[in-house]
A and B are shown apart, each in its own frame.
Chain A
Amino acid sequence: MAEVTLVEAVNLALARALSDDPNVIVLGEDVGVNGGVFRATVGLQQRFGPQRVVDTPLAELLISGLCVGMAAQGLRPVGEIQFMGFIYPCIDQLVNHASRLRNRTRGRLSCPMVLRTPHGGGIRAPEHHSESTEVMLAHIPGLRVVIPSSPERAYGLLLAAIRDPDPVVFLEPTRIYRAAKGQIDDDGEALPLDVAFVLREGQDVTLISWGAMVKETLAAADQLAGDGIRAEVIDLATLKPYDADTILASVQKTGRCVIVHEAARTGGFGAEIAALIAEHGLTSLLAPVVRVTGYDTVIPLPRLEQHYMPSVNRIAAAARKVCQFS
């Protein structure tokens, strides 16, 4: 067991995957000699060579398209997109090819690839470096969308994503790359995909979040505990396909639900969860489902960014309101 940060956990998982399976290829901009702009791939090229840890030209569409071709040949490519704001040229490859290669060939070809990218704001970054557009990806049939919220889950879920026989977009919460620390036993054990993690049990209200926002959500649960409100905290972890059972079981118990995400509200993934609860959990509801989210505006540059991000206070206030609803 060693204490590592989230980004170090990503690095350990990549090293483990490269070492376990000769088919694994890591590729992206600056992932080689430089070890990635966040150091997620540091040391990998030295250890596994430039053919398996590839510094690509500066072309995001290419990175995702190469992954499709490699994966169709049975390699296990893990592409890195430097920031989520640069992932959009890859959407064509994800929608038109990666997610449907297996389906459109009736299983003759498949696409076991992973596309990793830092996710979210709050790091005082330049423009286009703070996006959280996970819902665009979660809408694509045939894809998996995974986002860890701790070093343990980063390690276990990334290994699972690389071993998965289908394409996975793996979002890494930039804001807690180094802030989150955890104990990792580098034993190659994967965590299950498609399941949510109940991080804290409670009877009064269900708080659902993912990625970096889990940190604020857990802090809000602490604050609520001081008021005698017992909050259950769920880390969704896999957004597609997501774990409806865990959500519905929790809401059945608590009757109240607050969904937290930093992406803009309209059509955000919180809307999907609210719809799920409306369709399948209405009779257990004691209060309306509430979303605490980023606003429906462009995420501002650093001077106003903190006003955009859901805060511990906003989350706790929403939960109190939900609990007071009668």
Chain B
Amino acid sequence: MAERAITDEELPVIARFEVRQRSYLAPDGTVLRRLPHFASDTNALVSLYRGMALTRAFDTKAVSLQRTGRLGTYAVSLGQEAVSIGVASAMRGEDVLLPSYRDNAALLWRGVTMEEILLYWGGDERGNHWSGPVHDFPFCIPVGSHAPHAAGVAYAFAVRKQPRVAVCLFGEGATSKGDVWEAMNFAGVHKLPVVFVVNNNQWAISVPLKLQTASETLAQKAIAAGFAGEQVDGNDVIAVRAAAEEAIAEARAGKGPRFIEAVTYRLGDHTTADDAARYRPPEEVQARWKEEPIARLRSYLVGQNAWGKVQEEQLAAECQQLIEVAIERYLATSPRLPETMFDNLYAELPEAYAAQRRELKEASHG
């Protein structure tokens, strides 16, 4: 039988994919398109604004505590407050957050106290024993290694038929790790109620995004796992909140996982142990200050006559007050007995290690 020769151009296209980008507010606070429903309530926007402002004030104080030797290494979210706040504000209390080390703001929003966060970064595990969102995970330090946990948590929700969602936050560096891919892949297969959010702040310590991946977007990585990925302006808290709200609602409704790439910029150092001036020009950082999320939302709110100098001053004073009280409590935390390092190692300390606990107790009590 004679076969017709077909050219490569005539080969059938079997799949096409698109990645959309969401934004509502321009950097100067002007409205680009009709705002999502929740934004019609000015109080809701003010609440997001307060969350971001409190985070920035808290970060500033935390760094000064670190610089004066009263806190350990600390990662600020300067410039990225909209990511943590936008995502956390879209969650329900019974959902489970799996944060990375830069997500102090998300935990604060979910009810972890400032003194608990300070206690953790101050070098005391008791900071992770918070009374707020009891099922939320502690900060994940090994980058991206908590993504499989999110899939496991979501699997548990699915098995128990609970309408809950696991939300996992990580940075763009984490998307280079197999951990994140393996978790996304599994979540896709089982249509799990999990939302992955990447805080794409352009820098993984000193390594820029272009050395992290040649992928046009990070959002498209979800496509290979069989679910939707969306890019949002991560400095537009309305966009982050709207995207997270939609993704979480879909996941809760049993429609499977979602992936959100929040494009933002790390205006600060990686942590207090880093000096970003070693690897990126100050002009780049300076230029990015024009896009930061707090001024953007403020401009919008001011334009709506929903915010002004009086409110701003009042909020600043309120934040200072809350932070001062938290710092006082943190600094007054009673010290732990050395032998308590053995506590909670196992549900019940095996006899094999009880002797070491006694040894430590005797040595430390002189």
Contact = CB atoms under 8 A, between A and B. Distances in A.
Question: Chain B interface mostly helix, strand, loop or mixed?
Answer: helix
Contact of A106 (B129, B147, B352, B353): B129
B152 A70 contact: yes
Interface string B313-348: 000000000000000000000000000000111110
A72 interface: yes
Contacts of B189: 57
A102 B347 contact: yes
Most buried by B among A52, A105, A141: A105
A269 interface: no
Interface string A102-140: 111111111000000000000000000000000000000
B155 A106 contact: no
B186 interface: yes
Interface in B206-252: none
B25 interface: no
B19 to A, nearest CB: 24
A73 B345 contact: no
Contact of B350 (A25, A67, A194): A194
Contacts of B262: none
A228 B352 CA distance: 35
A51 interface: yes
B138 interface: yes
Contacts of A57: 182, 185-186, 189
B346 A69 contact: no
**Looking at chain A, what size class is its interface with the partner chain?**
35 or more
A69 B148 CA distance: 7
B330 to A, nearest CB: 16
Among the interface residues A25, A69, A241, which one has the most CB atoms of the partner chain B within 10 A? A69
A52 B159 contact: yes
Contacts of A66: 148-149, 151-152, 155, 186
B156 A106 contact: no
Given A62-B148, A97-B149, A103-B125, A244 B137 contact: no
Nearest to A107: B344
B145 A59 contact: no
A108 B159 contact: no
Contacts of B182: 57, 59, 61-62, 65
Contacts of B352: 194, 241-244
A102 B156 CA distance: 19
Given A65-B183, A166-B346, A74 B125 contact: no
Contacts of B129: 105-108
A1 B299 CA distance: 78
A34 B142 CA distance: 34
A56 B142 CA distance: 23
Contacts of B159: 25, 51-52, 75
A273 to B, nearest CB: 13
A66 B152 CA distance: 4
B106 interface: no
A142 B153 contact: no
B145 A93 contact: yes
A68 B146 CA distance: 9
A68 B140 CA distance: 13
Given A59-B186, A69-B150, A142 B145 contact: no
Nearest to B152: A69
A102 B346 contact: yes
Given A61-B182, A69-B149, A166 B347 contact: yes
B104 to A, nearest CB: 17
Given A97-B145, A105-B128, A105-B138, A68 B152 contact: yes
A77 interface: yes
B179 interface: yes
A66 B128 CA distance: 21
A103 B345 contact: yes
Nearest to A74: B156
Contacts of A106: 125-126, 128-129, 343-344
Contact of A65 (B135, B179, B345, B347): B179
Contact of A62 (B186, B345, B347): B186
Contacts of B96: 73
B145 A56 contact: no
A65 B350 contact: no
A62 B178 CA distance: 9
A96 B156 CA distance: 21
Which one of A62, A64, A142 has the highest number of Cβ atoms from chain B below 10 Å of its Cβ?
A62
A69 B128 contact: no
B134 interface: yes
Nearest to B178: A61
A176 B130 CA distance: 47
Contacts of A69: 148-156, 166
Contacts of B183: 62, 65
A92 interface: yes
Interface string B154-169: 1111110000001000
Given A66-B148, A141-B345, 12 more contacts: A51-B158, A57-B185, A62-B186, A64-B148, A68-B149, A72-B153, A77-B152, A96-B142, A103-B125, A105-B125, A105-B129, A105-B344
13 contacts: A57-B186, A65-B149, A69-B154, A70-B153, A71-B152, A92-B142, A92-B179, A106-B344, A109-B137, A110-B347, A142-B346, A194-B350, A241-B353
